[in-house]
Amino acid sequence: MKRPTILVLGAGYGGLATIVNLQKNIGPDVADITLINQNDYHYESTWLHEASAGTLRPDQVRYDIADVIKSDKVKFVKASVEGIDIPGKQVTTDNGVFSYDYLVIGLGFEGETFGIPGLDKYALSIANVKAARQIREHIEYQFATWSMEEVKDDSRLTIVVGGAGFTGIEFLGELGNRVPELCKEFDVPQEKVRVICVEAAPMVLPGFDPELVEYAVGHLQAKGIEFSIGTPVVEATPEGVKIKKGEEEFDFVKAGTVVWAAGVRGNRLIEQTGIENMRARVKVEKDMRAPGHDDVFIVGDCALLINEEVNRPYPPTAQIAMQQGVTVAKNLIALINGQETETFVPDLKGSVCSLGEDDAIGVVFGKKVTGAKASFMKKMVDNRALYMLGGPSLVVKKGKFNVL
């Protein structure tokens, strides 16, 4: 009998976890497994705020896919997916067309701009490792230009961060450490720099523990970060952002850098598949398959999974994406063996939000943590992700050990 072909799209947390668990559990005689990713490396999306602020170099947040796959069991193809033909069971890329018996879509997230005018064009988004490098270099360029120009435009030194969710707050935490370094490097007086976080909701980190939120805001304000809360960004222009302050009241903040961190959606390619989706996220069946498509699994941020206890979607996180990869690998093997698939049940251990190099807030196993202890836990979580996908050698190579 012909071996089935399994095609996995995307080497993010969900896609790689699927691959690593497939290669651990089946031999090359059982299935032909191909992984397609647009780069020959995986990047840690969960460290992108550091690469964006410049507190980590881009090469520190990525590692070679070859380091984690077994080439006798998995074929890796560096290619950009351009189209997914579900009825034809084919994927078109810039490096050929690939057929499949089973497809796993793990193409990750994109920044969501909610149609707000100007954001696509004038704001930067912490979307991937290349975008992170662009943000870092854009900020450095603004500082370098300010120190060179005769007639100084101080708005070059204003950084607006749209959104005070986890991404926005973690990025602000890094900027709190990075700005003094930038000032020193580019001969900029620190009092000239403004970092302003603009949040639409009435609180920072909406829905998170209020005591921890107060801790985070206090920490960031002590580093000079300003907050504009309950004031949505309504437009971006080449000069800065327009903010809604009241019913008919608007403010304009001139800024040399606007970083948009106000939410995510799934990869746009999902919208062309014909599979029902909401903002490019597919409400998956209990076993992670796309409804009505028994040969298509969706993992990570392209999947929408409802938490039935509260009747709301689980937040798109790396923690859940990796767990989904484990289940998808098991379910693929079950299908090949003619067995029943299993239900994906997330095992939520908590969440920790970093506030720069040495501080953080979090709720872990139901307990609140702050400060150096929370920061230590965050680094351990980061190292655990490396361990789960690449084993101890990857932790030694890329792990965070500057813990206390």
Query: Among candidates 55, 117, 104, which has minimal Cα distance to 296?
Result: 104
Q: According to CB under 6 A, which residues from 339 to 358 bind ligand NAD?
A: 351-353
300 binds, among ligand FAD, ligand NAD, none (CB under 5 to 8 A by kind): ligand FAD
Q: Which of 43, 98, 166, 297 binds ligand NAD (CB under 6 A)?
A: 166
11 contact choice in ligand FAD, ligand NAD, none (CB below 5 to 8 Å, kind-dependent) = ligand FAD
User: Does 21 participate in binding ligand FAD (rule CB under 6 A)?
Assistant: no
Q: What is the 3-state secondary structure (H, E, C) of 246-274?
A: ECCEEEEEECCEEEECCCEEECHHHHHCC
Residue of 44, 50, 112, 170 with catalytic role = 170
Examine the residue annotation and report whether 211 is marked as an active-site residue of this protein.
no
CB of 282 to ligand NAD, least distance (A): 16
SS3 state at 57 = coil
The only residue of 108, 165, 176, 266 in contact with ligand NAD, by rule CB under 6 A: 165
Asked whether position 164 contacts ligand NAD by CB under 6 A, the answer is yes
Q: Does 167 bind ligand NAD (CB under 6 A)?
A: yes
From 318, 307, 310, select the one nearest 345 (Cα to Cα). 307
Which pair of tokens denotes residue 314? 């689980």
Distance, in Å, from the CA atom of 288 to the CA atom of 283, rounded to the nearest integer, reads 9
Q: Is 277 in the site for ligand FAD (CB under 6 A)?
A: no
Query: What character string, x for contact with ligand FAD (CB under 6 A) and - otherwise, covers 84-123?
Result: ----------------------xxxx--------------
Q: Are 288 and 298 a contacting pair, CB within 8 Å?
A: yes
Q: Identify residues 166-225 at the interface with ligand FAD (CB under 6 A).
A: 167, 170
Q: How far is the CB of 39 from ligand NAD (least distance, A)?
A: 21
In angstroms, what is the minimal distance from the CB of 92 to ligand NAD?
Answer: 29
Tell me how far apart the alpha carbons of residues 119 and 338 are, in angstroms, rounded to a whole number. 49
Which residues are 247's β-sheet partners? none
Whole-number Cα distances in Å, 329 to 49, 74, 152, 304, 345: 30, 13, 57, 18, 14
Residue 108 makes contact with ligand NAD by CB under 6 A: no
Per rule CB under 6 A, count of chain residues that contact ligand NAD: 26
Contact 87/70 with Cβ under 8 angstroms? Answer: no
Q: Which long-range contacts (CB under 8 A, 24 or more apart) does 359-366 make?
A: 359/173, 359/219, 360/173, 361/212, 361/213, 361/215, 361/216, 362/212, 363/209, 363/212
Which of 163, 316, 356, 362 touches ligand FAD by CB under 6 A? 316
- Between 224 and 315, name the residue whose CB sits nearer to ligand NAD: 315
Whose Cβ is closer to ligand FAD: residue 104's or residue 183's? 104
In angstroms, rounded to a whole number, what is the distance separating the alpha carbons of residues 91 and 76? 15
- Given ligand FAD, ligand NAD, none, residue 233, with its beta carbon under 5 to 8 Å by kind, binds ligand NAD
Binding range to ligand FAD, per CB under 6 A, among 8-16, 224-232, 276-284, 338-346: 8-16
How far apart are the C-alpha atoms of 268 and 346, rounded to whole Å?
25
> Which residues between 244 and 273 bind ligand FAD (CB under 6 A)?
267, 269
- Tell me the backbone φ, ψ of residue 124, rounded to 5 degrees: -100, 150
Return d(Cα 216, Cα 198) in angstroms, integer: 15
Q: Using the minimum distance from each CB to ligand NAD, give the nearer residue, 54 or 103.
A: 54
Rounded to 10 deg, the angle between the 318-336 and 371-398 helix axes is 50
Which residue of 18, 228, 231, 319 would you call a contact of ligand FAD, by CB under 6 A? 319
Coil vs helix vs strand at 116? coil
Active-site amino acid positions: 170
Please give the residue ranges that form the binding site for ligand NAD (CB under 6 A). 116, 162-168, 170, 198-201, 206, 232-233, 261-264, 315-317, 351-353
Please give the residue ranges that form the binding site for ligand FAD (CB under 6 A). 10-15, 36-39, 42, 45-46, 48-49, 80-81, 106-109, 126, 128, 167, 170, 267, 269, 300-301, 316-319, 321
